[in-house]
Structure 1
Amino acid sequence: MTQAKFATHEVFNQSPPFWDVDLFAVDRPLLEAVAANGGAASESELSEFGKHWGSAAMAERGRIANENTPKLRTFDSRGNRRDEVEFHPAYHELMARSAHAGVHNSTWNADGKPAGGAAEVSRAAKFYMAAQVETGHLCPITMTRASVAALAAQPELLARTMPVIGTRAYDPTFAPWWTKRGMTLGMGMTEKQGGTDVRSNMTRAERDGEAYRIAGHKWFMSAPMCDAFLVLAQADEGLTCFFMPRFRPDGSVNAIQFQRLKDKLGNRSNASSEVEFVGAYAERVGDEGKGIRTIIQMVQLTRQDCAIASAGLMRSGLAHALHHARYRSVFQKHLADQPLMQAVLSDMALHVEASIALVMRLCRSFDRAPHDPAEAAYMRLLTPAIKYWVCKSAPGFLYEAMECLGGNGYVEEGILARHFRESPVNAIWEGSGNVMCLDVLRALSREAEAASAVLQELAEETRGLPGAGDAVTFIGKTFRRPDGECVARLAVEKLALLAASAALKAISPHHAELFARTRLAQNHASMYGAVDLATDDVRRLLERALP
């Protein structure tokens, strides 16, 4: 008698994993944007970084770090208050790799001064690639980098901390920062009753000799595992910025009591917390009453990184969607050869090209701002506008990328579901959309002449592009309206689109024309792929996106 066979199905017509690739070399728009903004000399270093972060091992670490979320250990086994946050080793490996590459400090010299050259552009390319693999760990990375700008307001404190911040070592041990090989810094600004309105903060700072004792709370304390935090509290002269370490100068644990970790939609690998300060030791950063002026130096840099990370998430969504479409066959043809799918993917590729061109142009302004007033004005006016447009673009874009993979895109085994859950946070953190629009209006009112010069330069750079002239006129008229705040979102989006067109024109004039025609000369359809691009343009865009 023939033995029964219970044959299972053979797996075929599935795309292989998108890993073991050089995330830099396969991304021609990134490569060209880096070169166009002064970073060509770093290509070899960026390719090495791209190969490592594009490996299967790093992809796996990203998955594991998000599946094994951090845990708060309030007390040790003997009942001593510790307030430690415990992470999976995969998270520590991600942190170590970013630190080793200088993603947390390479824009600064050893003395805390800007490194100059194309340090911002080169570092942004690494941040952009790392975000494609695992974005949560980049929260403490970006805050550590950005904190140096705020610490500059207290030179003696910067001089003490910079030798530890400036190393490329990651040291996760729970110990005083001055004993460690490397350190990370977090931030605590918002409170229950105030949120964005930090002037309503109630946390109090009382003088204690040369230091302060702080009592109060923070509703969001970012990256509670860090070695120190920059926090805002009310001192005698008003809202002030403080440096609050995890350990007091005598080596005892500081009175920073974490109440719980936030249960977030995304950003799962990273810890965010609620905290109470019970007479916590802190040192002043900057003058009393100047806390907002001090902390805004840090916030400007974290907003920059929000835009870079969102652009990286969209790039990853596009790469995974296009990779899948080239392997997956439907109705006897590869998805990538189907006209409707080509229309969707090429429109998405055009959006990513413009986004990376724009964020790299912004990073160039950060590189040059210390010595070039025109670049400084570009940085101040465009940072909130770019954060607004790029970060708010990401959720809808990543939804479209998920749909390109069908059901495979919606399940947690793939990276796109994680990217989608991650995508809203950059538009919310470091100032929501409305706050970004208000910041643009504030820059226009406080520095009207400089802002006007930036707009005139964008008009010159986009001359001849479809719809650019009308966009310039619209932006100018709208921002001069007495009720300009009511239509600020529309004007800020137009400003970002104009700046993206200008940035892209410097790299790929033809694609800048396509972008302006589909975004400035007319309103872009709410769905990707609802544009009319020539067959050759579709082919070129897809080849540039992923050779």
Structure 2
Amino acid sequence: MRVEEGFQPNPIHLPHPYTEDVVLPSLFKRIFPHQSEIQSELVRWGNEIRGPIQAIGALCDPPSSHPSLRQYDEWGRRIDELSTSPGWRALKAITFKEGLISIAYERNKYAEWARVYSFAKIVIYNADARMILCPFSMTDGCARVLELFGTEEMKRDILPRLLSRDPSQGFTAGQWMTERPGGSDLTHTETTAKLVRESTSAESFGSQEWCLDGFKWFSSATDGNLSVALARTGPTSLGSRSLSLFIVPLRLPLIASPPRSTLGINTDALPSLYPGATRSNNIYVHRLKNKIGTHPVPTAELSLNGAKGYLIGSLNEGVKTISPVLNITRLHSAILSVSSLSRCLQIARSYASIRTISSSAGGDTLLRDLPLHTFTLAKVSVLYRALTHLTFGVVCLLGRSENGNATMEENAMLRLLTPVAKGFVASYAVGGMEECMIALGGQGYMEETGIGRMIRDASVEKIWEGTANVLALDVIRACAGGRVMNAFSAWGMKAISQNTLDESRTQLPLSTVVYRPIFFLLGQVASGLFLLEHACWAVREGEETAAADLEAFRRWVRDGPVDGGSGGGTGGA
């Protein structure tokens, strides 16, 4: 039989990533005041993603397009030439032009919703962005650190490039914390920094110039322009209390002019570094990491051998100074997980609308009409709703905090729920994605669907910026003194007391005092409360999604997350 003969499966139709999403339109209608502008922009952006951006993203998938490293030239000189694919560079240019990071800092226009608007555009983009938002998440964190702690010169010369919409001028930044001795444990950081008494650089950015030596085991923005890096400036015996934070350019000078061309070449397609006009900042790239996912990201091991760095913030307060980077990148991590789960659910639901099987009653039946199949997808849908409401609930808190109008209680909630959202969402999203893959049967196991790629990529979110155990310990530290938990309890009681839906009153789970179960319990309870807030709003406003929103809250409280998502969660509530 020829392949054209016999049964021909119908291709799935991917819906619009925003307008046809089961959560986002209703959620953003509730939390956004700038409804008309943002609505039209998200529709326009979704159309771009569904069209040319998906095609560009596919250019990053073949192994031949993955990053490569050429350490020496033909004359034996160390050059550390890093090459990325045209697809990767195009996605980077798109991310700059769309202002996905800069929007979060346009508070004069959007006030506390600037951060929410930024993440709204990111969440519908991430599934097709091939992890380009990994370096941009760190760029976002670096911008916030400079906004809070940078010198006037840094704010004048560097910050505008981090927030640029011009790909030829924009900077991307990394963060260099992870080292071989400790991973997330910064106590054993080996990188040291020594003050250069007489600066030899015209680019001091109004800060002290230091000389850094050390080895960074995990660098996820090796094709970027600069990084924020922790280095030891005091005795080893003080552990993390003798670490300081520095801006470290990958090449010098940091602000270089792009090469001029008289050949009509579009310089936007060139890498952001201009090796013809710069020299290495004594940074050697030793190898690219061989990862199970995030293949387009040029992740490397590199050493600093007398690299120039410029102090940010106060001496020996590096952990405190870098904390805004961690808070922002943790929410980016949660957003990526939510975005990937959304796409996998869209694929599974679309497949259920075209795939038929023989019915016991005779004839063919669509998968969506089989109760057992829809039961599984309904559980994933409830999970997606809960994780999305949790994530954007915390994003709203971040927006208020950055805008300066958050209450003390809201700042305490932000401190508690940022690690909870990151760890809880990352732990359970992959389990939901696997259920979507299974819902397609053998077709789901094929690379062409994209589900396998998204599972591999999202799996790193369980590790990057803190595993569940590390984040659980962070939550325990946040709860010291009682203020944070008092704020959380007060918010929970307020959400419940405002509930006028008698049929949805349910006893939420409150038990256990072990670190990891407490961590997942907080995530489950917080997700339920955010779902409850939205369901109450939907019923009051007569939203067409109200019945589904209410049922999602009921099922979340009754069943909890999809089993197998994390191992160590609370299970069914």
Question: How does the TM-score come out when normalised to structure 1?
Answer: 0.86
- Alignment-derived partner of residue 202 in structure 2: none
Maintained 8 Å contact 1:313/1:419: yes
- Alignment-derived partner of residue 389 in structure 1: 424
The secondary structure found in structure 2 opposite 1:231 is strand
**Counterparts in 2 of 1:405 and 1:301: CA distance versus 1, 3 Å:** same
- Alignment-derived partner of residue 459 in structure 1: 493
Q: Match for 2:24 among 23, 30, 36? A: 30
Q: In structure 2, what residue type is equivalent to 1:213?
A: C
Maintained 8 Å contact 1:147/1:230: yes
| Deviations, residues 470-499 of structure 1 (Å, cap 9, x unaligned) | 43643xxx4xx5xx4364344334333334
1:367 aligns with 2:407: no
1:189 Cα deviation after fit: 0.2
Q: In structure 2, what residue type is equivalent to 1:401?
A: C
- Alignment-derived partner of residue 522 in structure 2: 492
- What CA RMSD, in Å, does the superposition of the two structures yield over aligned residues? 2.5
**Counterparts in 2 of 1:506 and 1:214: CA distance versus 1, 3 Å:** farther
- Alignment-derived partner of residue 47 in structure 1: 43
Of 8-17 and 301-310, deviating more is: 8-17
2:150 & 2:105 partners in 1: Cα distance?
Answer: 16
- Alignment-derived partner of residue 210 in structure 2: 212
1:502 & 1:445 partners in 2: Cα distance?
Answer: 27
1:228 Cα deviation after fit: 0.2
- Alignment-derived partner of residue 96 in structure 2: 99
The secondary structure found in structure 1 opposite 2:111 is coil
1:114 Cα deviation after fit: 10
1:243 Cα deviation after fit: 0.4
Maintained 8 Å contact 2:176/2:227: yes
2:427 & 2:489 partners in 1: Cα distance?
Answer: 22
- Alignment-derived partner of residue 399 in structure 1: 434
2:341 & 2:11 partners in 1: Cα distance?
Answer: 20
- Alignment-derived partner of residue 290 in structure 1: 317
1:357 aligns with 2:389: yes
Identical-residue share of aligned pairs (%): 25
Maintained 8 Å contact 2:382/2:556: no
| Deviations, residues 406-462 of structure 1 (Å, cap 9, x unaligned) | 11111112211111111211121011111221222111115x224312322123213
Maintained 8 Å contact 1:462/1:501: no
1:385 Cα deviation after fit: 1.0
The secondary structure found in structure 2 opposite 1:264 is coil
1:338 Cα deviation after fit: 1.5
**Counterparts in 2 of 1:420 and 1:523: CA distance versus 1, 3 Å:** closer
| Deviations, residues 250-273 of structure 1 (Å, cap 9, x unaligned) | 943211111111111111111111
- Alignment-derived partner of residue 272 in structure 1: 299
The secondary structure found in structure 1 opposite 2:128 is coil
- Alignment-derived partner of residue 540 in structure 1: none
Maintained 8 Å contact 1:353/1:504: no
The secondary structure found in structure 2 opposite 1:82 is strand
- Alignment-derived partner of residue 142 in structure 1: 137
**Counterparts in 2 of 1:124 and 1:449: CA distance versus 1, 3 Å:** same
Maintained 8 Å contact 1:70/1:86: yes
- Alignment-derived partner of residue 200 in structure 1: 188
1:7 Cα deviation after fit: 4.5
Q: In structure 2, what residue type is equivalent to 1:307?
A: A
Maintained 8 Å contact 1:385/1:495: no
Maintained 8 Å contact 2:428/2:562: no
- Alignment-derived partner of residue 163 in structure 2: 166
| Deviations, residues 349-375 of structure 1 (Å, cap 9, x unaligned) | 222122222222221111112212233
The secondary structure found in structure 2 opposite 1:471 is coil
**Counterparts in 2 of 1:300 and 1:491: CA distance versus 1, 3 Å:** same
Maintained 8 Å contact 1:258/1:275: yes
1:16 aligns with 2:14: no
Following superposition of structure 1 onto structure 2, how do residues 396-545 of structure 1 map, counting pairs within 5 Å?
396-446=431-481, 448-463=482-497, 470-471=507-508, 473-474=510-511, 478=512, 484-485=514-515, 487-508=517-538, 510-522=547-559, 526=563
1:513 Cα deviation after fit: 4.0
**Counterparts in 2 of 1:220 and 1:11: CA distance versus 1, 3 Å:** farther
The secondary structure found in structure 2 opposite 1:413 is helix
- Alignment-derived partner of residue 224 in structure 2: 226
2:178 & 2:55 partners in 1: Cα distance?
Answer: 34
1:187 aligns with 2:184: no
**Counterparts in 2 of 1:507 and 1:97: CA distance versus 1, 3 Å:** farther
2:61 & 2:196 partners in 1: Cα distance?
Answer: 41
1:183 Cα deviation after fit: 0.9
Maintained 8 Å contact 1:459/1:468: no
1:236 aligns with 2:234: yes
Q: Match for 1:312 among 339, 342, 349? A: 339
**Counterparts in 2 of 1:285 and 1:330: CA distance versus 1, 3 Å:** same
Of 209-218 and 149-158, deviating more is: 149-158
2:449 & 2:559 partners in 1: Cα distance?
Answer: 35
**Counterparts in 2 of 1:221 and 1:321: CA distance versus 1, 3 Å:** same
Q: Match for 1:89 among 81, 86, 91? A: 86
1:498 & 1:161 partners in 2: Cα distance?
Answer: 41
Maintained 8 Å contact 2:226/2:250: yes
Maintained 8 Å contact 1:107/1:123: yes
The secondary structure found in structure 1 opposite 2:149 is coil
For structure 2, the 5+ residue unaligned runs are: 198-207, 236-241, 255-277, 359-363, 540-546, 566-573
The secondary structure found in structure 2 opposite 1:423 is helix
Q: In structure 2, what residue type is equivalent to 1:435?
A: V
Maintained 8 Å contact 1:223/1:272: yes
1:322 Cα deviation after fit: 0.6
Count of matched residue positions in the alignment of Structure 1 and Structure 2:
502
1:82 Cα deviation after fit: 2.8
| Deviations, residues 318-370 of structure 1 (Å, cap 9, x unaligned) | 00011111111111111111221111122212221222222222211111122
For structure 1, the 5+ residue unaligned runs are: 1-5, 172-180, 529-547
